[in-house]
Chain A
Amino acid sequence: MVSHSPASPPSRAAILEILDSVKDPEVPVLSVRELGIVRDVEVDDAGAVTVTVTPTYSGCPAIQAIEDDILAALATAGVADARVVTSYAPAWTTDWIEADARAKLKAYGIAPPRPAEHGGLVQLLRARTAPPCPYCDSRDTEIRSEFGPTACKSVCWCRSCGQPFEEFKAF
């Protein structure tokens, strides 16, 4: 945790470092920066901080908790003059999750997202292949349910090691 003296305005880099400590409440292995939720940070001349975030899914119930967590982390680090604003464009995509964050997801037992599709409006009967098992790397897996316990994940099953696992859906 970076602590910040109220006497001098915080640097943008210091704010970003603080945001690295804020984890997603539903995927606590990733920070809100690693998930791509934090889109911008501005520090004005008076030291007021504006953090721009974008929601993952429209109805993601975690977004309010994430905003509260960001403000709490900044306050704990001595940055009291801060606000969070929401931006919808460009729309969030799992393609923003970087390679090291994907490795963390896999180590946590969640198959990382594959590249998002940007094609046509209605894509039916395109049997989606199941992701490799994050535990044993087997490809002998199946998708049990496209919808999982959170909006961002589907539920899969590994036939090789018998382990159920979640997949972070490409979106």
Chain B
Amino acid sequence: MTAPSVLPPPPPAPHDELELLLRLGDDRLVLGHRLSEWCGHAPILEEDIALANVALDLLGQATMLLRRAGEVEGKGRDEDALAYWREAVEFRNCLLVEQPNGDFAFTMARQFLFDVYAVVTLDAVSRSTNAELAAIAAKALKEAKYHVRHSGEWMLKLGDGTDESHRRVQGALDELWRFTPELFAADDVAARLAAEGIGPDLPALRAHWHELVHDVVERATLTLPHESSHTPHLNGGRAGMHSEHLGHLLAEMQIVARSHPGAKW
């Protein structure tokens, strides 16, 4: 893991609304791609279908958000141009979603932490003063609610399952926990958006997220990692400072579009 633990001085933000759309959209594009990597490899057929379904929802949400980002940017880029022709440093997703799938427990723990984050943030954004954003968030929220039911029930099954499943999902939580502070870190962009009622007040949402996560983790007989015991928090994704994993993901996601520009089938 080579991501820096300290944010560089924030670059000038020409367009806060665009930043917010990219952050929300890129979280979903990258996580949707990660989940699609399970297609044909999940432990059981039902789960293969479930992961592909959730991936498709996330890609659909990313499409809405990045299409809107392209409109707001006003440079003629559509959602495909933003997905396939940006470099890793231009992506604004959090580091959590770009982490490799690992085993099924790791994928589900990552998904659960994100799904709870998605419901609390989309719920807030559905009340945004920006009507376009509020409409997209309200639509996505309906999907996030059944995503978290799926990943949350897997946390219970795995945590309260066999010694092996318990060990693996606890290990996944321990490994992933250091990526969660980034989810609620408010840089200048996020702070301005929250003050204007456009974006979520991220630091204020953290307690609710923690409460929802803790409830499930406890029922799953798992233990939340101690705040004092984890390695330094990792962040930087919102400013384009990513782990090395994102470059590999993008290489695979972008190669066809870049090898055959404008191809149709």
Residues of A within 8 A of B (CB): 55, 57-61, 87-92, 121-125, 144-149, 151, 155, 171
Contacts and interface: CB of A to CB of B under 8 A. Distances in A.
Given A57-B60, A122-B119, A149-B49, A88 B136 contact: yes
Nearest to B155: A124
B56 interface: yes
Contact of A55 (B60, B138, B152, B153): B60
Given A121-B123, A122-B149, 5 more contacts: A91-B142, A122-B119, A124-B152, A151-B57, A171-B142
Contact of B61 (A59, A87, A90, A148): A59
Given A58-B63, A122-B145, A122-B212, A145 B56 contact: no
Nearest to B212: A122
Interface string B17-40: 000000000000000000000000
Given A89-B138, A91-B139, A121-B212, A146 B61 contact: no
Contacts of B143: 57-58
Contacts of A145: 46, 49-50
27 contacts: A57-B56, A57-B143, A58-B61, A87-B135, A88-B64, A88-B136, A88-B138, A89-B134, A89-B135, A91-B135, A91-B139, A91-B142, A122-B152, A123-B145, A124-B149, A124-B156, A124-B219, A125-B153, A125-B219, A146-B149, A146-B150, A147-B53, A147-B54, A147-B150, A149-B49, A151-B53, A155-B46
B145 A121 contact: yes
What 3 pairs across the A-B complex have the smallest Cβ distances?
Answer: A59-B60, A58-B60, A89-B135
The A interface is mostly helix, strand or loop, or mixed, namely loop
Interface in B143-164: 143, 145-146, 148-150, 152-153, 156
Interface in B179-227: 212, 216, 219
Given A124-B216, A125-B153, A147 B46 contact: yes
A22 B63 CA distance: 25
B64 A58 contact: yes
B116 interface: yes
Contact of A151 (B56, B131, B219): B56
A59 B58 contact: yes
Nearest to A63: B60
A114 to B, nearest CB: 14
A60 B60 contact: yes
Interface in B43-83: 46, 49-50, 53-61, 63-64
B120 interface: yes
Given A144-B46, A171-B142, A124 B153 contact: yes
A92 B140 CA distance: 11
A64 B46 CA distance: 26
A88 B135 contact: yes
B253 to A, nearest CB: 16
A171 B153 CA distance: 19
A165 to B, nearest CB: 15
Contacts of A92: 139
B120 A121 contact: yes
A87 B64 CA distance: 11
A58 B216 contact: no
Contacts of A121: 119-120, 123, 145, 148, 212
B84 to A, nearest CB: 17
A146 B50 contact: yes
A57 B57 contact: yes
A93 to B, nearest CB: 8
A144 B47 CA distance: 11
